[in-house]
Structure 1
Amino acid sequence: MANGVWHTEYGIEINLTKPDLGVDGYPGLLEEIMTSVSDRNPQLLECLAHHRGQECSSEVGGKSPWMFVRRGRVGGRRPLVAAHLPITHKPTPAESDQHKATKERVVETAERYGLSADAEVGMPHRRAVTDAVVTGPTGIRIGWEIQYSPLGPSGVRRRSVVAIDNDITPLWVAKSDRADLIDRAPWARVDDMPWREIVSGSEMVIRGGYRHLQVWRCLPSSPLHCLDTDGAGHCDSIHYEWFLPALCDPPKPPVVIEDLVLTSATGDSVPVFVPSRGGGRAGRHMWVPSSDCQTWRELTGQWEPLPGPQEQETDDEITFSEQEIDRTCRAGEEGLFRSDARPVRDLGQPTGGLTLARVPAQRSRRTTWITAVERAAAASALGCPPWEVGPCLRCSQVMRRYGRNAAMACGSCRAEADPRPA
């Protein structure tokens, strides 16, 4: 792959191995040269050999001397690499048919539900087009981006910003668990289906990107794992975590694409960003039921709106090797270049798990106040109305204290008081 290109509009030589690209006084140059070819002049970047009047192997082969730039992935590094047009991945007819069939299915589903839907919606003052925009009864606008071909993080980031700036919530659809768009914006993953099955109405299950909140009391009888003992024991605390539908207890029914078309537009499903337990800006984007989102916000106090796309991510940072520019045409060698395999991004594991702080144990009968957060979490975990939640008479831990068949003391205290086998 080439490590340099010629900028035809500025008349400058660009060295892709240097942080300043080998030139001074051109702010925004990196973003400009990495803009998608569909959004810029395709003859913006030229093969250096061709510009110098030397032989360009690509042009000799009946192709183009014009080039594009992208991030490579080699041995954990992310160098900038340049290649001749057409781009290295050109959608095959089957992929194009998949894309078209999915887009039409989204629009037809929305119209069948009585929603407003438009395909190929252009953004004002921007050279960007959204595959489909579905508008709900209250004015919620969802921008469906069917992305079955590879698209780098910068492209996802840029197009998501354009959508958000136009009051459209982006919803990216992928078919690969390695797609770069996963967790970089609200997303959903479907199976890699032939276009004929998509058109015929075969079930399109959302395999990733949609989750349910589970809140549970960590007891030996609970089928869900303990977050604080790495699943090796039980701590009697209340945990909450986000699970795929099939991993919930009991399992939730699968979400299909028609469900997401409807509920995302009506606000019954909403996008959230769940920060990682380690803090920072890392985390997971997901679609969730609005009721689960409300419970999660009450438990965590995270009432901030969905964050915008990150400007830069650790695994997206460009690596500069500071080499001398190579002005030889490398068109014949581009097919030999192999990037490292993209890592799996959709792991399907539970995420965002936390433990609700325990009420301090008390041995007196004085009044114990239960916060609204503790009451909501306990009610969800115990499967009872919030007004039936109260403190154990003996240890003051939150339990189902009131209502039919309720007890005055928690199971642990009853077992301690009467250790005989049940």
Structure 2
Amino acid sequence: MANGVWHTGYGIEINLSLPDLGHPDRPDLLREITRSVTDREPQLLECLAHHDGRECLSESGGKSPWMFVRRGRVGGRRPLVASHLPITHKATPAESAQHKATKERIVGTAARYGLDAEAEVSVANRRSVSDAVVTGPGGIRIGWEIQYHHLSPSSVHRRSVIAVEHGITPLWVAKDRTASLIDRVPWARVDDMPWKDIADGREMVIRGGYRHLEVWKCVPSGERHCLMSEGAGHCGAIHADWFVPALCLPQRDPVHIEDLVLRSATGESVPVYVPNRGNGRAGRHMWVSADDCALWQELVGEKTPLPTAPVEDEDDVITFAEQEIDRACRAGEEGWFVSDGRPQRDLDQPTGGFTLPRMPVQRSGDSVRITAVERAAASAALGCQPWELGLCAGCGQLMRRHGRNTAMYCNVCRVLLNGR
């Protein structure tokens, strides 16, 4: 892999292994050379061997001596490497057929539901083209991006930002757990299946990217573990977290691509971004029901919009080895995976969730000291209406006290009273 390149515009040699690229007087140089080739002069960066008058293996092989810069992946490091153009993935006939069949299925589904749908929609003077745009009755526009081969994170962000700026909510479709778009933008993952099955209407389940909000009270009789304890303890607080349908209690029905076409366009399902509370630089994008989104925002007291600029996570931080430039042409050694495979990004684990502090014990005769957020959380965790909440006659904690088939004591107190 090449760690050096010639900048034809400035007439300078760039060392990609140095933090300042060998030019501390040009602080914007990194941003300039890592821009998408579609947004700059294609002949801006040149193979050093070609510039020095030596053999460029790419050119002698009938290809281009011009280059672009990307992040590599070597032993957990992310060095900058220069690769010859064109190296963008050319879809195989099977991938092209999959892509076309999925696009036609989305547009056809929208039409059956009475939604407006259009394929190959240009945005921002053709700076970006959505595979399909579905418009709901309320004017919601969903830009479906079917991405069955690798695309760099910067390209994913750039195209998503352009869509958002033009009133389109992006919805990226992947078939690979390692796809770089996962959790960087609103996304959905489907099975890798033959194009004929897609065209014939075979079931297309959303395997990743759609979640449900689960709220529960952390008590010994509960089926879920405590988010605050590494052991088997129970804190008595109310937890909330996001789960894929198969891990919900009880298990939820799977979401199909037809469901998401309809729900996203009508606003019944919406994209949310849930930050990782242990690391503010990372988080999860997901599609959820509008009701779950409203409850989550009420619980956590925040609204996180769609991203408007690229955000690096730990997996994208550039590492600089500070080496001498290797001036040999490395064409032919420039597979997209420099050495290591990409890690899985679509993980089924919960997000880390949110915990409301344990509510103070309430005593009958006192005014009930509970906030609107606590009341909403308690009613969700206990599966009852807010007006059904009341105080346990034993411990004074909130419980489902009013309505049909209710009791005076919570489950924990009933166990204690019965001596079990």
**Aligned-partner SS, 2:280:** coil
Q: Counterpart of 2:372?
A: 372
Is 1:319 aligned to residue 319 of structure 2? yes
Uncovered stretches (5+) of structure 1, i.e. residues with no partner: none
Structure 1 position 307, deviation (Å): 4.0
Task: Report the RMSD for the aligned CA atoms in angstroms.
Answer: 2.3
Q: 1: distance between equivalents of 2:115 and 2:54? A: 58
Q: Counterpart of 1:345?
A: 345
Structure 1 41/108 Cα, relative in aligned 2: closer, same or farther at 3 Å? farther
Structure 1 position 202, deviation (Å): 1.0
Q: 2: distance between equivalents of 1:261 and 1:24? A: 49
Q: Which amino acid is 1:356 matched to? A: L
Structure 1 position 52, deviation (Å): 2.4
- 1:236-315 → structure 2 map (5 Å cutoff): 236-278=236-278, 280-315=280-315
Structure 1 11/117 Cα, relative in aligned 2: closer, same or farther at 3 Å? farther
- Cα deviation 1:181-231 (Å, max 9, x = unaligned): 111111111111111111111111111110000112233443222223336
Structure 1 position 321, deviation (Å): 2.2
Residue 103 of structure 1 contacts residue 132 of structure 1 at CA under 8 Å; is this kept in 2? yes
Residue 154 of structure 2 contacts residue 310 of structure 2 at CA under 8 Å; is this kept in 1? no
**Aligned-partner SS, 2:73:** coil
TM-score normalised by L of structure 2: 0.92
Q: 1: distance between equivalents of 2:260 and 2:394? A: 47
Q: 2: distance between equivalents of 1:103 and 1:38? A: 24
Q: Which amino acid is 1:172 matched to? A: W
**Aligned-partner SS, 1:390:** strand
Q: Which amino acid is 2:133 matched to? A: V
Uncovered stretches (5+) of structure 2, i.e. residues with no partner: none
| Residues paired across the two proteins, number | 420
Structure 1 position 337, deviation (Å): 7.8
Q: 2: distance between equivalents of 1:281 and 1:39? A: 27
Q: Percent identity?
A: 69
- Cα deviation 1:382-401 (Å, max 9, x = unaligned): 22211101122332201011
Q: Counterpart of 1:70?
A: 70
**Aligned-partner SS, 1:280:** strand
Q: Counterpart of 1:20?
A: 20
Residue 107 of structure 1 contacts residue 132 of structure 1 at CA under 8 Å; is this kept in 2? yes
- Cα deviation 1:147-188 (Å, max 9, x = unaligned): 111112212222221111112111111111111111111111
**Aligned-partner SS, 1:274:** strand
Structure 1 position 108, deviation (Å): 1.7
Structure 1 position 333, deviation (Å): 4.1
- 1:45-84 → structure 2 map (5 Å cutoff): 45-84=45-84
Q: Counterpart of 2:11?
A: 11
Q: Counterpart of 1:328?
A: 328
Is 1:85 aligned to residue 85 of structure 2? yes
- Cα deviation 1:106-163 (Å, max 9, x = unaligned): 1221122111222222222462222221111111111111111111221222222111
Q: 2: distance between equivalents of 1:388 and 1:50? A: 77
Residue 364 of structure 1 contacts residue 394 of structure 1 at CA under 8 Å; is this kept in 2? no
Q: 2: distance between equivalents of 1:58 and 1:245? A: 49
- Cα deviation 1:37-77 (Å, max 9, x = unaligned): 44544333221221222211222222222222211011221
**Aligned-partner SS, 1:288:** strand
Is 1:131 aligned to residue 136 of structure 2? no
